[in-house]
Amino acid sequence: MEPIRTIESRTVVIPRENIDTDQIIPGRFLKVTDKQGLGKALFSDWRYDADGKPRPEFVLNRPEAQGCTVLVAGDNFGCGSSREHAPWALVDAGIRAVVSTRVADIFRNNALKNGLVPVVLDPASHAKLLAAPGAKVRIDISSQTVTLPDGTTASFPLDGFAKYCLLNGVDELGFLLSQEEAIAAFESKV
Amino acid sequence: MTAATEARRARTLFEKVWDAHVVRAETPETPAVLYVDLHLMHEVTSPQAFSMLRERGLQVRRRDRTLATTDHSTPTLPRLPDGRWPFFDAQNAAQVAQIERNARDFGVELHGLGDPQQGVVHVFGPEMGATQPGMTVVCGDSHTATHGAFGALAFGIGTSEVGHVLATQCLLQRKPRSLAIRVDGALQPGVTAKDLILAIIAQIGVGGGTGHVMEFTGPAVRALTMEGRMTLCNMAIEGGARAGMIAPDDTTFQWLAGKPRVPKGAAFDAAVARWRALPTDAGATYDREVTVDVSRLEPMVTFGTNPAQGIPVTGRIPEPGAEKDPAARATLESALRYMALTPGEPILGQRVDVVFVGSCTNGRLEDLREAAKVMRGRKVKTRTLVVAGSHAVKQAAEAEGLDRIFREAGAEWREPGCSMCLAMNGDMLEPGQYCVSTSNRNFEGRQGPGGRTLLASPATAAAAAVSGAVADPRRLVEG
Ligand code: SF4
């Protein structure tokens, strides 16, 4: 994983609540046995019509969305299934951070393992971003802050270990493997 | 805290199971290292984890704690005369072949297609007796919450974490908060665990349990069978919870006795004695508590595109205008637009095109019996798929003649698997179709692009099948 310190981008806003993992990537795209190329399937049923043609009105298909790496969504993003295909698809499509007022537990865990930053804001700060699609934001991992369109900053929670992993580009498995002695000791007790 | 004070402190069921699995305690800098007793696997969320093991030259640390099946991509039509499986497409076949190869290469016990134990992972695990009280159970699948019905701490993980567990038998976890859902009263005839969990989620919302482990308590929960308890815990995730748990009791122990992986004889008695210490101590506290009274609960059905959008089957489609919060109003409006349902109208009588009875929520023997009670001697008016959750369920159902009741009613009696719960294997809705489904998710397109799902109990689904419309099962079985 590449280290991440800051993310600067204009925002793409999908102002819906409870965006579930079946919307992020529908089940029929889970038949793969690798991770590559899932960005094509991101929000597939919203992005394409029944013939597979892009729907011009869907925000991710608009020209101004190209190159944006910050997705702002309504409350409770990522609810539903444990499919890591959801963050894989988002990352493959270029998204680096998802901003909401609540992020589902399994999605958050999965996102962090793929360098996708879940940013949970207070409702007032979140409302400012919802109201200003395309606004320029800067997300700073070290200080756990987002600069909002009106120039103010809002802070967001981030687990200390997750933060360390993001800033240093390390994955959790290395840490777990280093616990071998403790794991073996635990196993010998049970 | 010393061991002595730890032992004296009143703890919840969740805390007891958590504490017993901490390999290394959490600190502000690092999460807890949590030991996993049982790792269940299926073909969809495991291939990339095995690839990671290969890339890093790692092995499966505890094969004896790892158990796999195939369910999502598998066909629900029988094997062809030439011995091949009628896979919907080449990708489904390749995914199943991949887990077969991974299981062989890494020495993992797999009960795949053709195996008499094969079934939906959350039906098959308990049937094997692999899920036991006090265990930590994980699977790359959000409905792992099901196994909490046995007093296990069971939760879904992503594929990276599947890799972590394969390699180290551990996970890095922050301790979730606890939420007690106390269920008072007694369920009326014709009202089931499915109706209860739909009502709970309607009350707390789809994100209401986020960050929490739910424990279901109270007399209505104690009165449930294991099948009902599994239905309840299965859908804890639909309320956003990491896990659902129910304290083990005699119902649990009787269900487990004699299952293949459960200890026998004196070892069983010793295990039961240990399991009896698991229930929440008097005086232990939860971070949050919610109380529900079910005395007046009716069969529930969802009208929208998330599991919290449920109403009594005798109720009316809600009016977005009555919703004061603009975000909630927009959510409701968009759901009704997708479902093409009219605010203010009764849900009873709504047209139904397809009925699906099955899944890890309601694909067990008791569920099939409930559906058969309604379908017996009647004809279905919709396409109706009845899919047992596992081969063991299928065999038991056939031994009682339930398959005949379904076939004579005109329903399709299929081979076990996830089937139309998530429509990965070709069993799917056509755009615009309405399906009353006993599964757990009514998300847009879940059962096929453009498909419209109404979640309900097996009895309500069967009532819809024989009526061709949403119907109240109580009118069909009583009198
Ligand atoms: S039956 Fe449905 S919810 Fe259960 S494991 Fe299969 S796809 Fe998931």
Q: Which residues of chain B have pLDDT under 70?
A: 1-7, 478-479
Burial of B86 (0-12, 13-18, 19+ CB in 10 A): middle
Q: What is the rounded distance in angstroms from the CA atom of residue B152 to the CA atom of residue B145?
A: 9
Residues with CB under 6 A from ligand 1: B 71-72, 120-122, 141, 143, 359-360, 418, 421-422, 439-440
Sign of CA dihedral A102, A104, A105, A107: negative
Q: Compare CB distances from A23 to B98, B330, B444 and report the shortest one's residue.
A: B444
**Residue B39: strand pairing partners:** B66, B138
Ligand 1 centroid to Cα of residue B416, in Å, is 12
Q: What is the rounded distance in angstroms from the CA atom of residue B357 to the CA atom of residue B365?
A: 11
Cβ under 8 Å to B: A residues 99-158: 102, 104-106, 109-110, 113-114
A2 confidence band (pLDDT: 50, 70, 90):
confident
Residues of A whose CB is below 8 A from B142? 80-82, 106
Residue A90 has pLDDT above 50, yes or no: yes
A172 confidence band (pLDDT: 50, 70, 90):
very high
Q: What is the rounded distance in angstroms from the CA atom of residue B462 to the CA atom of residue B356?
A: 9
Atom of ligand 1 nearest to the CA of B441: 3
Distance from CA of B460 to the nearest CA of A (A): 24
The pLDDT value given to residue B3: 55
| Ramachandran bin of B107, using left for φ above 0, alpha for ψ from -120 to 50, beta for the remaining angles | left
Distance from CA of B106 to the nearest CA of A (A): 17
Its ipTM equals 0.96
Q: What is the rounded distance in angstroms from the CA atom of residue B436 to the CA atom of residue B17?
A: 37
Q: Mark yes or no for CB contact A105/B158 under 8 Å.
A: no
Distances (CA, A) of B468 to B227, B382, B385, B441, B461: 27, 6, 14, 21, 10
Residues of A whose CB is below 8 A from B33? 176, 179, 182-183
Average pLDDT over every residue of A51-73: 96
Does the beta carbon of B277 lie under 8 angstroms from any beta carbon of chain A?
A: no
Measured between CA atoms, the residue of chain B closest to residue A74 is B327
For B127-142, the pLDDT digits (tens) are: 999 999 999 999 999 9
Distance from CA of B27 to the nearest CA of A (A): 9
Does the beta carbon of B295 lie under 8 angstroms from any beta carbon of chain A?
A: no
Does the beta carbon of B260 lie under 8 angstroms from any beta carbon of chain A?
A: no
> Which of B42, B44, B141 for a ligand 1 pocket mutation test, highest count of atoms within 8 Å of Cβ?
B141
Strand B412-414: give its sheet, edge to edge. Answer: B412-414, B383-387, B354-357, B434-437, B452-455
The pLDDT value given to residue B479: 44
Q: Which of B242, B238, B236 is nearest to B211 (CA)?
A: B242
Residues of A whose CB is below 8 A from B328? 17
**Residue B302: strand pairing partners:** B310
Ranges of beta strands (E only) in B45-201 are 66-69, 109-111, 136-139, 153-156, 170-173, 177-184
Measured between CA atoms, the residue of chain A closest to residue B45 is A83
The pLDDT value given to residue B59: 98
Q: Compare CB distances from A22 to B73, B240, B443 and report the shortest one's residue.
A: B443
Average pLDDT over every residue of A20-24: 97
Collapsing DSSP to helix, strand or coil, B356 comes out as: strand
Measured between CA atoms, the residue of chain A closest to residue B420 is A27
Residue with tokens 């239905």: B231
Q: Which of B109, B23, B442, B56 is nearest to A180 (CA)?
A: B23
